[in-house]
């Protein structure tokens, strides 16, 4: 009986050269014990190669509103093609691809309907809007090498003037587009954040950079007695007032116009939240913001940071690929690890720093910290 190969005892460089050998790959595909592993690795590799095409199929399904069309039940290809003004043979290819991605289901009679995954996509707040918004990101990544070398303005940096505090932030249409996209995406963030954070004992919470108040709306429902403040730019707060009025929170949330980039934060809250704020900004801006938060909090006051975070020493597929590249394209922020954020908090003077990995890291993870009690 042959000896069993102890992978741990084999030099990694030798294993890598072996894996890169076409002769070894062909041999592994024929060996029963290795065949399943070889197929899985091959499928994973092809998934990476085909990733852009997969994303464009998804974009087409969303842009043509096909998922919503099929929510009412299976439809013949000819009918979908007519509604979408796409030639029938090309629509056949798109629907077949959608079924291949698991978003649609092909019926025996040739009609296509929604799969459970496709239906679930429709139910995720803001996801369709974010998929449409990816046109800007795809344009920035058309030449990934040039993108990584830098030196050119990106479409995403033009879309997010709010982050830079640029002139475009004063444009009502730009601000409204930004605020709507953020409000839709914040619903899941708020749900996951409140599932990980204990706000008992907090009397007054100030959400800094809170947009149109999606996070505070969720807090208001969970903690009806808590006082709530929302600090953001004046143009953003105009939209926030309308959104809060719409969900019945008129007068419940105090709106505080201001810029955390340039001004001290108002005092009075015993807890401050930064929800998807830090990764929009560079280290110097984040350091100033955390110093301002520290100064605004009373002794024993709490800070809640919620956003997708890098896996650090253990790279994470969702945050270290998608969010890291996205924030790079914004040309202002970056996706940080727990260790990096913790170091920034310690330099600002915070203590009792705790982190919780989100059960959906692509939605958010959480770090809490305190200003030491007197």
233 and 174 in one domain? yes
Q: Is 3 a domain residue?
A: no
Mention every residue, 6+ apart, whose C-beta is less than 8 A from residue 232.
Answer: 208, 209, 210, 211, 240, 256, 257, 258
End of a domain among 123, 148, 178? Answer: 123
End of a domain among 94, 123, 152? Answer: 123
337 and 289 in one domain? yes
Instruction: Express each pLDDT in 137-175 by its tens digit.
Output: 999 999 999 999 998 899 888 876 554 454 444 455 555
Average pLDDT over residues 112-124: 94
294 and 199 in one domain? yes
Strand partners, 232: 257
pLDDT at 350 over 50: yes
pTM of the full structure:
0.84
Q: Are 274 and 293 spatial neighbours (Cβ–Cβ below 8 Å)?
A: yes
Instruction: Express each pLDDT in 249-279 by its tens digit.
Output: 878 899 999 988 888 999 999 999 999 999 9
| Total domains in the fold of the chain | 3
pLDDT at 240 over 90: no
* Domain around 300: 135-370
pLDDT for 2: 44
What is the rounded CA–CA span in Å between residue 302 and residue 372?
9
pLDDT for 125: 80
End of a domain among 91, 123, 155? Answer: 123
Q: Is 199 a domain residue?
A: yes
Query: Which of the four pLDDT bands, split at 50, 70 and 90, describes residue 332?
Result: confident
247 and 175 in one domain? yes
Q: Is 221 a domain residue?
A: yes
pLDDT at 323 over 90: yes
169 and 74 in one domain? no
248 and 111 in one domain? no
146 and 85 in one domain? no
56 and 39 in one domain? no
363 and 227 in one domain? yes
61 and 28 in one domain? no
């Amino acid at each position: 009986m042959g000896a069993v190969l102890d992978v741990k005892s084999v030099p990694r460089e030798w294993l890598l050269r072996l894996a890169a050998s076409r002769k070894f790959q062909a041999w592994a595909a024929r060996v029963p014990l290795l065949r399943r592993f070889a197929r899985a690795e091959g499928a994973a590799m092809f998934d990476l190669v085909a990733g852009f095409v997969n994303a464009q199929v998804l974009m087409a399904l969303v842009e043509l509103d096909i998922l919503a069309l099929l929510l009412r039940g299976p439809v013949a290809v000819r009918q979908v093609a007519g509604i979408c003004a796409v030639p029938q043979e090309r629509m056949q290819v798109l629907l077949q691809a959608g079924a291949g991605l698991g978003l649609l289901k092909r019926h025996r009679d040739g009609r296509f309907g929604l799969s459970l995954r496709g239906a679930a996509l429709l139910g995720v707040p803001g996801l369709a809007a974010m998929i449409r918004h990816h046109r800007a990101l795809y344009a920035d990544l058309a030449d990934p090498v040039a993108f990584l070398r830098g030196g050119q303005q990106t479409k995403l940096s033009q879309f997010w003037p709010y982050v830079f505090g640029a002139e475009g932030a004063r444009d009502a249409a730009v601000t409204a587009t930004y605020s709507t996209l953020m409000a839709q995406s914040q619903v899941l963030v708020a749900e996951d954040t409140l599932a990980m954070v204990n706000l008992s004992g907090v009397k007054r919470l100030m959400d800094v950079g809170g947009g149109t108040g999606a996070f505070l709306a969720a807090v208001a429902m969970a903690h009806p007695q808590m006082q709530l403040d929302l600090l953001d730019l004046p143009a953003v707060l105009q939209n926030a007032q309308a959104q809060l009025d719409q969900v019945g929170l008129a007068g419940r949330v105090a709106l505080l116009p201001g810029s955390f980039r340039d001004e001290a934060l108002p005092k009075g809250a015993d807890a401050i939240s930064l929800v998807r704020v830090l990764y929009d900004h560079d280290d110097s801006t984040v350091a100033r913001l955390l110093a301002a938060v520290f100064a605004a909090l009373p002794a024993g006051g709490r800070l809640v940071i919620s956003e997708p975070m890098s896996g650090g020493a253990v790279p994470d597929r969702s945050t270290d690929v998608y969010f890291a590249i996205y924030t790079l394209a914004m040309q202002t922020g970056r996706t940080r690890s727990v260790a990096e954020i913790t170091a920034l908090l310690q330099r600002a003077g915070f203590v009792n720093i705790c982190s919780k990995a989100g059960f959906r890291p692509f939605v958010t993870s959480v770090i809490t910290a305190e200003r030491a009690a007197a």
